[in-house]
């Protein structure tokens, strides 16, 4: 079974600075997908960024980028120029495609990290 580990429960960063959230996972599969989701206080969870394991290039979405190290099974999220609106809980998630079953969209989540951006 796949596991996702987010070892830091909380982090804090000064506005406009850069912060990196770490995530490691364990799998024996070679093809899979990784996601970072953001859950702002009292608001809906939304997708931040997605990475396909077969792609060597790290995904980027505006101020958000990932450092995907497949051999190390590491998938960290870097937030540049942190903004107050980045204050949220962030979840790392793993998806293992299982072809020919109905389970091909299941996500396994880490425990999450609470990020606070200080003004």
Partner 1 sequence: DVKVTQSSRYLVKRTGEKVFLECVQDMDHENMFWYRQDPGLGLRLIYFSYDVKMKEKGDIPEGYSVSREKKERFSLILESASTNQTSMYLCASSFRGFNEQYFGPGTRLTVT
Positions touching partner 1 (CB under 8 A) are 6, 9, 33, 35, 37, 43-47, 50, 91, 95, 97, 102-107, 109-112
Using the minimum distance from each CB to partner 1, give the nearer residue, 1 or 71. 1
Using the minimum distance from each CB to partner 1, give the nearer residue, 23 or 79. 23
Using the minimum distance from each CB to partner 1, give the nearer residue, 56 or 119. 56
The answer to whether 2 and 108 are in contact (CB under 8 A) is yes
Q: Which of 8, 24, 5, 17 is nearest to 78 (CA)?
A: 17
* Min dist. Cβ of residue 97 to partner 1 (A): 5
* Min dist. Cβ of residue 51 to partner 1 (A): 12
Round to whole Å and give the CA distance between 40 and 19: 17
Who contacts 57 (Cβ-Cβ below 8 Å, separation ≥6)? none
* Min dist. Cβ of residue 45 to partner 1 (A): 4
Place of tokens 């590491």: 74
* Min dist. Cβ of residue 93 to partner 1 (A): 8
The sign of the CA dihedral 69, 21, 95, 111 is positive
């Amino acid at each position: 079974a796949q596991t996702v580990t987010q070892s830091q429960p909380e982090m804090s960063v000064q506005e406009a600075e850069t912060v990196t959230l770490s995530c490691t996972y364990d799998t024996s599969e070679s093809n899979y997908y990784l996601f970072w989701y953001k859950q702002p206080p009292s608001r809906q969870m939304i997708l931040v960024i997605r990475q396909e394991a077969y792609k060597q290039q790290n995904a980027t979405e505006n101020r958000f980028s990932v450092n995907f190290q497949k051999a190390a099974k590491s998938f960290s999220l870097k937030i540049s120029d942190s903004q107050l609106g980045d204050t949220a809980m962030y979840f790392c998630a793993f998806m293992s495609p299982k072809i020919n079953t109905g389970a091909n969209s299941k996500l396994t989540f880490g425990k999450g990290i609470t990020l606070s951006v200080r003004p």
